Amino acid sequence: MKRILVTGGAGFIGSNFVRYVATNQSEIHITVLDKLTYAGNQANLPVSNKVELVVGDICDADLVERLVQKSDAVIHFAAESHNDHSLTNPAPFVQTNIVGTYTLIEACRKFDVRYHHVSTDEVYGDLALEDSQKFTPETPYNPSSPYAATKASSDLLVKAWVRSFGLRATISNCSNNYGPYQHIEKFIPRQITNILNGQRPKLYGDGKNVRDWIHVEDHSRAVWLILTNGQIGDTYLIGAEGEADNKTVLATILTLMQQSPEAYEPVADRPGHDLRYAIDATKLKEELGWQPQFTDFRSGLESTIEWYRKNRKWWEKEKIAVEKLYTQRKQ
């Protein structure tokens, strides 16, 4: 592979992936296609003559064809990614997540380009809090939110393009990511930046909902392995056995930031709030030899807190607007 196209490469996970490839595969030329929505930021990208940003929309078929044609592989991260926004305005989710994916896979089909589809564990719906089951590649799709439904739809398009057109594609469904460059609308950075600003963190409902946390760098390594060694047509689940309920995560952040673990504000719950996500990553581990390197969630959180402390300029301009939206939703 000499040239890759990374969609959504100016967002949280996409930019971490670009940094991972630029660092570990320095001979590869990376073109980032990103619309720079509120979630995209050029400053997230590493400065390198091997990394080029094209500002544009994945739904723009002409632009997508031009870029796909000169790429050896497409890694598709671009998405509308926030569940809470999908509950107030689903339209951009349908457009970007479904139509955008369709536009990309059509171009990959036309020029026979290898395609990797980055998806989420949310396509499987949720698990009961008390049960010990985990998601596997065989778990039936059962999405809850408009966001999850559009991601599920895009996965199904990819599966159909593999079967019907021989698209050379793989899919990965990952659990909740944390780490540097995550937008401050998301749970962990929202709470860290609230505390740094002297505001109380906000916990939805009773805080018993469980998420399966993985460091974004472990996700990037997994995507690279799947892209280079994965079985065409297969789905890989990515997770690092990082299950924790929201209240515990928040208490850990508060303690690491020298606050009382109870110094938070309970706010309105998310409608349709998924209870628990948990990933069985056996296939990824056994077939491709992947293992997470960030196995200590507490120390991963500590370095993430440090990143937001040191990079105040990166987030502080947006903070007021982000919190205003949450206040309107009583969250």
CB under 5 to 8 A by kind: which of ligand NAD, ligand TDX, none does 203 bind?
Answer: ligand TDX
Determine whether 126 is an active site residue. no
Task: For residue 107, state whether it binds ligand NAD (rule: CB under 6 A).
Answer: no
CB under 5 to 8 A by kind: which of ligand TDX, ligand NAD, none does 190 bind?
Answer: ligand TDX
Kindly indicate which of the ranges 66-74, 196-204, 232-240, 313-321 contains the residues binding ligand TDX, using the contact rule CB under 6 A.
196-204
Task: For residue 36, state whether it binds ligand NAD (rule: CB under 6 A).
Answer: yes
In angstroms, the CA 252 to CA 327 distance is 24
Task: For residue 10, state whether it binds ligand NAD (rule: CB under 6 A).
Answer: yes
Task: For residue 200, state whether it binds ligand TDX (rule: CB under 6 A).
Answer: no
| Other CB atoms within 10 A of residue 119 CB | 23
Determine whether 121 is an active site residue. yes
Q: Which residues pair with 177 in a beta bridge?
A: 214
In 3D, which of 120, 177, 155 has the Cα closest to residue 292?
177
By CB under 6 A, the count of residues binding ligand TDX is 16
Which token pair is 215?
A: 């460091």
In angstroms, the CA 301 to CA 299 distance is 5
Per CB under 6 A, contacts with ligand NAD among 218-257 are: none
Classify burial at 204, counting beta carbons within 10 Å of its beta carbon; exposed 0-12, middle 13-18, buried 19 or more: middle
Kindly indicate which of the ranges 55-63, 157-165, 199-207, 216-224 contains the residues binding ligand TDX, using the contact rule CB under 6 A.
199-207
Helical ranges in 166-267 per DSSP H? 187-196, 216-229, 246-256
- Tally of CA atoms within 13 A in the half-sphere of 100 that contains its CB: 25
What distances in angstroms separate CA 289 from CA 24, 225, 226, 227, one per listed residue?
A: 18, 9, 10, 14
Q: For residues 180 and 244, is the Cβ–Cβ distance under 8 A?
A: no
Per CB under 6 A, contacts with ligand TDX among 221-250 are: 246
Rank residues 27 and 130 by Cβ distance to ligand TDX and give the closer one. Answer: 130
Spatial neighbors of 45 by CB under 8 A, at least 6 apart, are 9, 10, 15, 18, 19, 32, 51, 53
| Other CB atoms within 10 A of residue 315 CB | 20
Determine whether 318 is an active site residue. no
Work out which of 109, 186, 221, 276 binds ligand TDX, going by CB under 6 A. Answer: 186
In angstroms, the CA 23 to CA 20 distance is 5
Task: For residue 83, state whether it binds ligand TDX (rule: CB under 6 A).
Answer: yes
Work out which of 71, 120, 153, 193 binds ligand NAD, going by CB under 6 A. Answer: 120
Task: For residue 209, state whether it binds ligand TDX (rule: CB under 6 A).
Answer: yes
CB under 5 to 8 A by kind: which of ligand NAD, ligand TDX, none does 211 bind?
Answer: ligand TDX
Task: For residue 74, state whether it binds ligand TDX (rule: CB under 6 A).
Answer: no
Task: For residue 83, state whether it binds ligand NAD (rule: CB under 6 A).
Answer: no
Binding residues (CB under 6 A) for ligand TDX: these are: 81-83, 120, 122, 176, 186-187, 190, 202-204, 209, 211, 246, 270
Binding residues (CB under 6 A) for ligand NAD: these are: 7-8, 10-14, 33-37, 39-40, 57-59, 77-81, 96, 100, 118, 120, 151, 174, 176-177, 183
Looking at the annotation, which residues are catalytic?
121-122, 147
